[in-house]
Structure 1
Amino acid sequence: MLQIQIGPERPARSDDLLGRTTIGWREGMSEDEAWLAGRGIWKFNADRALAQHEVQIVNTAGTVLAVATITGVTKKEDRYALEGDLQRGDPRVGRPTAHPHRSRNSVGYFDE
């Protein structure tokens, strides 16, 4: 499983490659908003990411915000954005992740 940890919400750069106006996490955001905030833009190993079945978007407290099945990656300059099918209503959303994110990096890989 791929896990992406996002910090507090803040304005996105004016040239955000996904066209977002904000990035990061805020209380009360929907799964769709968490997916958009967390799916990119990251530096990661594209082959390793594609080898994962799913991605969890989590906040810095370790709460699962969204779960998606990975279907691909899109190259955005020297970084990547995940493509996937959001699993709306996944029972893990809103609960602590079973895989605490111990890395200082935003992107983590976990064997299941």
Structure 2
Amino acid sequence: MIQIRLSHYEPCDPTEDCLGRTHIGYQEGMTEAEAFEAGRGVWKLKADRVLDQDEVQIINLDGTVVAVATITGITKCGDRQAIEGTLLTGDPRVGQPTTTPHLSRNPVGYFETSRAGHAGG
């Protein structure tokens, strides 16, 4: 699993954002889809490590899960990447404290739950 910790909500220029977003970060009241869109990119990711994982978990600064998605690929955005995935709307982890907090200052954390460990993976 990859975990992305969102900072505070701030506007951005959609003409300068490779995903065309109007904001990044998290604010209270966002939907799961909005949180996933804000959190899926753009990051300096290790593409091989991303593609070896099943899912991405988006958390806020308090460590609460705000979105979960399966990973289907990555999109290159200049020298950075965005995660492509299928949002798992209504996942029971959403709204709960993450069970795998990462202590790094880096907003992206990698956890050892790879596709290789799953049958047929």
TM-score (norm 1): 0.97
Report the equivalent of 1:34. Answer: 35
Name which of structure 1's ranges 101-110 and 5-14 shifts more when overlaid on structure 2.
5-14
Superposed CA offset, 1:60-97 (max 9, x none): 11000000000000001000000000000000000000
Equivalences for residues 30-109 of structure 1 within 5 A? 30-109=31-110
Kept in 2, the 8 Å contact 1:62–1:101? The answer is: no
Unaligned runs of at least 5 residues, structure 1: none
Report the equivalent of 2:9. Answer: 9
SS in 2 for 1:52: coil
Supply the distance in 2 between the matched residues of 1:22 and 1:101 (Cα, whole angstroms): 24
Superposed CA offset, 1:25-74 (max 9, x none): 00010000000000000001001011011000001110000000000000
Task: Say which one has the larger Rg.
Answer: 2
Q: CA deviation at 1:111?
A: 1.9
Supply the AA of the counterpart residue of 2:100.
H
Supply the AA of the counterpart residue of 1:49.
V
Q: CA deviation at 1:3?
A: 0.3
SS in 2 for 1:92: coil
**RMSD, matched Cα:** 0.9
Supply the distance in 2 between the matched residues of 1:96 and 1:34 (Cα, whole angstroms): 15
Kept in 2, the 8 Å contact 1:70–1:84? The answer is: yes
Say which structure is richer in strand. 1
Stretches (4+) displaced over 6 A: none
Unaligned runs of at least 5 residues, structure 2: 114-121
SS in 1 for 2:48: helix
